[in-house]
Amino acid sequence: MRMQTALWLPIIALLALPLAAQDIDQSPIPLPRLKQDFVEVAQVDRSGLKLPAKPVATVDEHVLTQGDLLWILLESNISTIANVLLDTKMLECELERNGVEVTEQELQEELGEILPRIAPDKSFEDLVASGIYTADYLRTTARTTRGWKKLVWAARNIPPEARNAQTNAFLLQLFKREITGRYQIMLRGRRPAPPEGAFAALSTLVKGKVVTYEVGPAEAMQFLLGVLRPISIIQGRRQLIEEYLVQRAMTKADVAVTDSEIEAYVREMQTKFQPPFSWDMVLQAKGLSQDQERVRWRNVEAWRRSTGTDVTKEDVLAFCAANEDHFRGRYVEVKHILIMTVDSATGMSLGEDAEATAKAKAERIKSLLEEGVEFDKLAELYSEDKTTAQSGGKLPQPVKKFGGALDENFRDAAYALTKEGEVTGPVKSVYGWHVIQAAKISPPHNRPTDFGDPRYYDWIREEYETMKMQAWLRGLKTSARINEVPVEDLLTIKDLKLEQSN
């Protein structure tokens, strides 16, 4: 189950996220339990936005609207959105501070590099006409990307012939960390907090002038509308329904999970996971953003509090025993060939005919493998996952039993492989049909291990609680009467023009 919608990441990139952060002996990092630090988090009022009341679904006669959908998509992605908007503002300040400009020619050059990554077969005009991204969003992204590049090229004296080196991405991250020290950044749940009604804010001094900037609901919502893909809207409706059911269950049980508690958890994790294994690295390993982890943790707490469940050590260790291969570090490195059944830019289905054609093509590819044709050659020729095709279809990170952002059908099929060279498929995922080959099987270690030790136990408990929460959530959905408006009506949300109330 997806905890929450990724708004603008390329689809196939989700098949290549790394595993849980571990030390060199495959054990979780030992970490002490920290005391939560509470900061009161003020609610951001949506009443200033004129959000549409058109229905997107009903749950037991309760109507969920387009406005509800937009707001939950905003709230559950606000950390990502706020960071992007703050980054854009910091760039503008740094360009002014250093007297650097981004020309129209440079902007167009950067667009030429960005477009093949986010929509390989579409031009700028096609992409804007399709409604996937707005022209303003694409141009702003190109300007921001090229602007930061120009600043780091100048600061690090990088000559033109060396500007495409892979190490430059690392240099850029270091450079931006240095730059951030010039700014006071204000985030919800942190000290200092942003002004009332804002999601985030910053201030700095540029050429003797104080510059301040706030990320408010209107600008954040405008950004959201600029990056919403059709598949994000569809997945967002699923999330909205789940959110309503979770909130209803908590109301019935007279319990709550507050924003202040969620942000206290975030601060605890950020303090707990220090470099070289930062919390962002751990989340990347789990295949989640900070916003997605907020949703996961909140839903786990909602399950525990609504059901009055007290998770015991016996429960956790029994779960560990049933899945000991996973907790002893078994993983499978795989190659895959993907024949897509969705549009690579929108994530929308290509239709029943495309589905049947893709499956037949995947079956033919498997037959060629059985006849002795090399997997790598077939991947290069036929795989529509362009990020892995040229490397013989190999995913950059191995597959484990739980976690990550892999489609569950793909993950389960890949993990079930037992010997190197074994092939399975065709396997259906949300992206299409896969033929999967085991490149390497790493068996579980057999070292004496105390799974009750906190460095193991906290990890196992989180996996257990997440699994139980997901089962609880499926039960809530099964017992509810849910009616959804047709997809074509749902997607009209992309055509909205944001208005503010007086």
13 torsion bin: left (phi>0), alpha (psi -120 to 50), beta (else): alpha
Condensed to tens digits (0 to 9), the pLDDT of residues 99-151 reads: 999 999 999 999 999 888 877 777 888 888 877 788 888 999 999 999 999 99
And the tokens for 280?
A: 């962002």
Distance CA 30, CA 323 (A): 21
Mean per-residue pLDDT, 52-67:
95
The residue to which tokens 């809530």 are assigned: 476
For residue 442, the SS3 value is: strand
Condensed to tens digits (0 to 9), the pLDDT of residues 406-451 reads: 888 999 999 999 999 999 989 999 899 999 999 999 999 999 888 8
Condensed to tens digits (0 to 9), the pLDDT of residues 248-298 reads: 999 999 999 998 899 889 888 888 888 777 888 888 877 788 888 999 999
CATH 3.10.50.40 fits 331-442, yes or no: yes
Q: DSSP character for 26?
A: S
What pLDDT score was predicted for residue 501? 58
Is the pLDDT assigned to residue 356 strictly greater than 80?
Answer: yes
What pLDDT score was predicted for residue 274? 80
Each domain of the chain, given as residue ranges in start order, spans: 76-215, 331-442
**139-169 exposure pattern, b = at least 16 Cβ within 10 A, e = fewer:** bbbbbbbbbbbbbbbeeeebeeeeeeeeebe
pTM: 0.80
Condensed to tens digits (0 to 9), the pLDDT of residues 193-223 reads: 899 889 999 999 999 999 999 999 999 999 9
CA atoms within 13 A on the CB side of 72: 24
Confidence class for position 301, pLDDT limits 50, 70, 90: very high
